[in-house]
Chain A
Amino acid sequence: MSTVVRYADVEVGTELAEQVFPVTRADLVRYAGASGDFNVIHWNERVATEVGLPGVIAHGMLTAGLAARAVTAWAGDPGALVEYSVRFSRPVVVPDDGVGAEVVVRGRVAALQEDQRVRVDMTVTSGGEKVLSLARAVVVLS
Chain B
Amino acid sequence: MALDAGLVGRSYPPSSPYEVGREKIAEFARALGDPDPVYVDVEAARAAGHPDVIAPPTFAIVLSLGAGEVVLADPEVSIDYSRVVHGEQRFVHHRPIRAGDRLVATASVEAVRSVAGNDMLTTRVDLTTTDGEPVCRTSSMLVARGTA
- Choose among A83, A86, A88 the residue that contacts B85 (Cβ–Cβ < 8 A): A88
Is A69's CB under 8 angstroms from B34's CB?
yes
Instruction: Assess whether A39 is in contact with B49, with CB atoms less than 8 Å apart.
Output: no
Complex contacts, B32 vs chain A, CB 8 Å: 31, 62, 65-66, 69
B interface, over-half SS: mixed
Interface size on B, residues (CB 8 A): 39
Q: A72 contacts B82, CB within 8 Å?
A: no
Determine how close the nearest CB of chain A comes to the CB of B45; give it in whole angstroms: 9
Query: How big is the A interface, by class?
Result: 35 or more
In the bound complex, do residue B50 and residue A1 qualify as a contact, i.e. CB atoms below 8 Å apart? yes
Identify which of residues 63-112 in chain B touch chain A, using a CB-to-CB cut-off of 8 Å.
65-66, 81-93, 95-96
Asked if B90 contacts A84 (CB within 8 A), the reply is yes
The yes or no answer to B127 lying at the interface (CB within 8 A) is no
Q: Which of A34, A85, A91 contacts B89 (CB 8 A)?
A: A85
Contacts of A57 in B (CB 8 A): 85
Beyond A39-B84, A79-B54, 8 extra complex contacts between A and B, CB < 8 Å:
A30-B30, A31-B32, A35-B28, A36-B62, A61-B89, A69-B34, A78-B38, A88-B85
